[in-house]
Amino acid sequence: MNYNLNSPAHTAQKTSTLAALKKLFRFLEAEQRTLILAFLTIMVSSGLNLTGPVIIGYTIDHFIQHHDYQHTLLFCGLLLLVYMTAFGANYLQARIMGGIGQRMLFTLRNAVFGKLQELPVAFFNQNKTGDLISRINNDTDKVNQFFSQYLLQFVSNIFLMVGAGIFLVSIHPSLGGAALVPAAFLLIFTRLISPWVRRKNAANMKSTGSMSAEVQESLNNFKVIIAFNRRDYFRKRFDQVNKENYATAVGAGMATNLFMPVFGVCAQLAQLIVLTYGIYQVANGNFTVGLLISYLAYVNSFYTPIRQISILWANFQVALAGWDRISQILTLQSDLPVLAGASANGHSHTDTVMEFKDVHFSYPDSKPVLHNVSFQLQRGKTYALVGPTGGGKTTTASLIARLYDPTEGEVMLNGKDIRIYEPAERSGRIGFILQEPFLFTGTIRDNILFGNEQYAAYSNEQLAAVIQEAQLESLLARFEGGLDTKVLTTGDSVSLGQKQLIAFIRAVLRRPDLLILDEATANIDTITEQLLEKILQQLPDTTTRVIIAHRLNTIENADEIFFVNGGEVTRAGSLDHAVNMLLHEKRES
């Protein structure tokens, strides 16, 4: 499956604003009741805010013009009352809508991260780390900004605008109609340029993603840049992405900033229309001066929210562009589903733990790595996979652990299709020490217990006892701070060999049925390696071991040796035979 988010297949998809909104608002489903409450408060507060000018206009017309100060004061009191109620409604509205925005962001982030956890290794191999980080951080933040800061204003402004619009028309239909003409033009204008604005912003986010990827890659591998004297190269490459980002940012800014001035012009045009047409109506006796003054205020209360909406609409387009990039991730599906129907239960006691039946495999867009591979692994035996680099050893191991599914053929675990096993059961049965060890920031304890629920609640003493029992204590003793030694994901505080030791302890503590070591001891000295060898031999009789190594001493104790080369797996009769093949077979890597 193609998981590359920047491939044309993924970027070409075009969604309308409405469709995107619909998907986005799915995150609001749990909030239906709160939403209704929010709309109620919005209607109340908008209504009250609109009542203000009515009272003012009425007071001017009926009392101030007739020099009735008594009633003027009375109506001032009424106005005060209205505003105080509006204050309460405004506050409630802000609280409720703000809460909805924050919770929606929370759900959205969880959804993205949850999806990320569902996706297989292939997804991570096909996308750049920096670009993914940029999508999850920058792009959700764009959506976030809109929802936490602007959604409330957006919704209440729309209400204010609609309310004021209805008012305008109901008080004086023809004058109201005239006042709304510029707004109709705005509607068309917005519809026309919004997709373009969104495209411009999406382009900008894409180049921000590339920039982030570039910086991330260079900074994490800074020692290579220094050792090879490529500081200038880093500057040059950065300069290029920086310039690209600048160009797209200016483009996006120009597009986004077009809204405001156009909206401003329309608001002013509306005032002009009301003024001239209104005076004409007053002259004809259809209208009063007092009403005209308050009418001008209504036009303001119609166009002021529109002006705000113009700013918000620009932000909204940016948020939607971010949302498009996020939903690209959300629509991806794992290509490693658990097969329904068949049950993995009813542990069959076959002696064959693992079997490959005519397995073919290739990575997307590249040549086949394995073709027509068949073999069986028996319970309790030790197998070695040897062969030249690039021959397919790691790929074979990855298929055993179901990091990928074969493109053709079947992988069987305990006599059943590996695809029917729940991930928890599968990973409990199959242990895999990866070629490239990885540490989470935290302590050694965090790292050796990572993903191991059995010992999660153990105290350090209890855990030490378990480690002792598994004869791993001498490995742990190599870390000065013991279980509480602090480690970092980046940096050189822990050597590669030490990382491999941690990975080894972690895998052994999980007591898998089948343990794969993919060059897992490559950077460990041979004396320590002998110790690891001893620990491996003392694993329960039922444990099957699969060892990938180049050092012959690590594989000489294997019960059986497979020679992996050019995408084929052949059984070697003996160690001598394997070595001979290593020396003389034609290398296809």
Partner 1 sequence: MTACSSCSSKPTLHFSTMQTANGKKHASGKKPPKISALIQPYRGLVMLLILLALFANGLTLVLPRLIAYGIDAYGSGHLEIKPILIWFSLTTVFIFIFTYLQNIVQTYASERVARDLRTRLADKVSRQSYARVQEANPARLLTNFTGDIDTVKLFVSQAVASIASSVFTIIGAAILLIHTKWQLALAVLLIIPLITMTFMMVFGRMKALFLKAREVLDWLNKVITESILGAALIRVLNAQQLEYHKFLTANTNARDIGLSIMRLYATLIPVITFIANMAMVTILALGGHFVISGGMSLGDLAAFNSYLSILIFPIILIGIMSNVIAQSSAAYQRVQQVLDMPDAVDAGTIQARLRGDISLQHVQLQYEGKPVLKDISFSVKAGSRTAIIGPTAAGKTQLLHLLSNLSQPNSGSIQYDDHEITAYNRDTLHTQVGLVFQDSILFNMSLQENIAFNDTVTPEAMERAITTAALKDFVDTLPQGLDTVVSERGTSLSGGQKQRIMLARALAIEPKVLLLDDFTARVDNHTEQQILQNLAQYYPDLTLLSVTQKIASIEHYDQIILLMEGEILAAGTHQELMQSSPEYVQIYQSQRSTNHYELQSK
Q: Does 363 bind partner 1 (CB under 8 A)?
A: yes
Q: Which tokens hold the place of 45?
A: 């507060």
Of residues 529, 545, 546, 562, which one binds partner 1 by CB under 8 A? 529
Q: Which stretch binds partner 1 (CB under 8 A): 29-37, 173-181, 265-273, 321-329?
A: 265-273
Per rule CB under 8 A, is residue 526 in the interface with partner 1? yes
CA–CA dist 135, 323 (Å, integer): 10
- Asked if residue 396 binds partner 1 (CB under 8 A), the reply is no
- Asked if 268 is part of the footprint of partner 1 (rule: CB under 8 A), the reply reads yes
Token pair in block for residue 60: 């001017």
Under the binding rule (CB under 8 A), the answer on residue 589 touching partner 1 is: yes
What contacts 433, CB < 8 A, 6 or more positions away? 500, 503, 504, 507, 515, 516, 517, 518, 520
**E strand intervals along 525-580:** 544-548, 560-565, 568-572
Question: Taken in order 433, 439, 445, 449, is the CA torsion positive or negative?
Answer: negative
Closer residue to partner 1, CB minimum distance, 114 or 573: 114
Q: What is the Cα–Cα distance from 567 to 369, expressed in whole angstroms?
A: 5
Of 29, 461, 480, 541, which lies in the binding site for partner 1, with binding defined by CB under 8 A?
480
Backbone angle region of 193, left / alpha / beta, with phi > 0 → left and psi within -120 to 50 → alpha = alpha
- Is position 85 an interface residue for partner 1 (rule: CB under 8 A)? no
Member of 3, 50, 101, 190 binding partner 1 (CB under 8 A)? 101
Q: How far is the CB of 155 from partner 1 (least distance, A)?
A: 13
Q: Is 136 in the site for partner 1 (CB under 8 A)?
A: yes
For residues 256, 257, 262, 263, the Cα torsion angle rounded to the nearest 10 degrees is 80
Beta-sheet strands, E only, within 314-351: none
Closest CA relative to residue 463, chosen from 491, 482, 442, 479: 482
Interaction of residue 465 with partner 1, rule CB under 8 A: no
Nearer to partner 1, 351 or 436 (CB): 436
Task: Please pick, from the candidates 157, 201, 208, 382, the single residue that binds partner 1 as defined by CB under 8 A.
Answer: 208
Q: How many CB atoms lie within 10 A of CB 87?
A: 12
How far are the Cα atoms of 55, 174, 178, 249, 292 from residue 286, in angstroms, in the given order? 20, 11, 15, 52, 11
- Of 14 and 551, which has the nearer Cβ to partner 1? 551
Among 27, 75, 316, 356, binds partner 1 (CB under 8 A): 75
Whether the Cβ atoms of residue 276 and residue 220 lie closer than 8 Å to each other: no
Q: Does 491 interact with partner 1 (rule: CB under 8 A)?
A: yes
| From candidates 174, 184, 191, 261, binder to partner 1 by CB under 8 A | 261
Give the contacts of 257 (CB within 8 A, at least 6 positions apart).
Answer: 314
Q: By CB under 8 A, name the one of 154, 313, 316, 432 that touches partner 1.
A: 432
Pairing assessment for the beta strands 416-417 and 408-413 based on DSSP bridges = antiparallel
Alpha-carbon torsion 481, 483, 488, 489, what sign?
Answer: positive
- Which residue, 349 or 366, is less far from partner 1 as judged by CB? 366
Residue 258 lies near partner 1 (rule: CB under 8 A): yes
Q: Which listed range, 29-37, 161-169, 321-329, 483-491, lies at the site for partner 1 (CB under 8 A)?
A: 483-491
Two tokens, residue 550: 């180049």
Residue whose CB is less far from partner 1, 559 or 588 = 588
Kindly write down the DSSP assignment for every residue of 124-156, as one continuous string. Answer: HHHS-HHHHHHIIIIIHHHHHHIIIIIHHHHHH
Q: Is 9 helix (H, G, I), strand (E, B) or coil?
A: helix
* Shortest reach from residue 20's CB to partner 1, in Å: 23
String of b and e for 460-473 (b: at least 16 CB within 10 Å)? eeebbeebeebebe
Taking CB under 8 A as the criterion, which residues in 147-186 touch partner 1? 148
Q: Which stretch binds partner 1 (CB under 8 A): 19-27, 322-330, 346-354, 499-507?
A: 499-507
For residues 533-572, which are near partner 1 according to CB under 8 A?
A: 550-553, 556
- Give min distance, CB of 18 to partner 1, in A: 27
Which C-beta is closer to partner 1: that of 297 or that of 539?
297
Dist. CA 250–CA 476, nearest whole Å: 55
- Told to check if 457 binds partner 1 by CB under 8 A, we report no
117, 293, 302 from 285: Cα distances, Å: 71, 15, 25
What is the contact mask toward partner 1 in residues 218 to 257, using x (rule: CB under 8 A)? Answer: xxxxxxxxxxxxxxxxxx--xx--xx-xx--xx--xx--x
Question: Among 31, 405, 513, 519, which residue sits at the site for partner 1 (rule: CB under 8 A)?
Answer: 519
Site for partner 1 contains 37 (CB under 8 A) = no
Q: Considering only residues 105-124, where is the footprint of partner 1 by CB under 8 A?
A: 105-106, 109-110, 113-114, 116-118, 120-124
Nearer to partner 1, 351 or 576 (CB): 576
- Choices 5-13, 17-25, 272-280, 340-348 (CB under 8 A): range interacting with partner 1: 272-280
Nearer residue to partner 1 within complex by CB, 25 or 222: 222
CB of residue 19 to partner 1, shortest distance in Å: 27
Residues ≥6 apart with Cβ < 8 Å to 92: 41, 45
Question: Rounded to the nearest 5°, which phi and psi values hold at 220?
Answer: -70, -25
Binding test (CB under 8 A) with partner 1, winner from 16, 19, 26, 65: 65
Is residue 510 near partner 1 by the rule CB under 8 A?
yes
Write out the binding residues for partner 1, residues 317-356 only, by CB under 8 A.
none
Contact of 136 with 327, CB cutoff 8 Å = no
CB of 266 to partner 1, least distance (A): 10
Q: How far is the CB of 185 from partner 1 (least distance, A)?
A: 14
By CB under 8 A, is residue 298 in contact with partner 1? no
Radius of gyration in angstroms for the set of CA atoms belonging to the chain, rounded to a whole number:
34
The label of the residue with tokens 């940029």 reads: 134
What's the Cα-to-Cα distance from 136 to each of 104, 113, 116, 151, 208, rounded to whole Å? 15, 8, 10, 20, 12
Q: Under rule CB under 8 A, which residues in 399-428 are in contact with partner 1?
A: 401, 403, 423-424, 426-428
- Of residues 238 and 350, the one with the C-beta less far from partner 1: 238
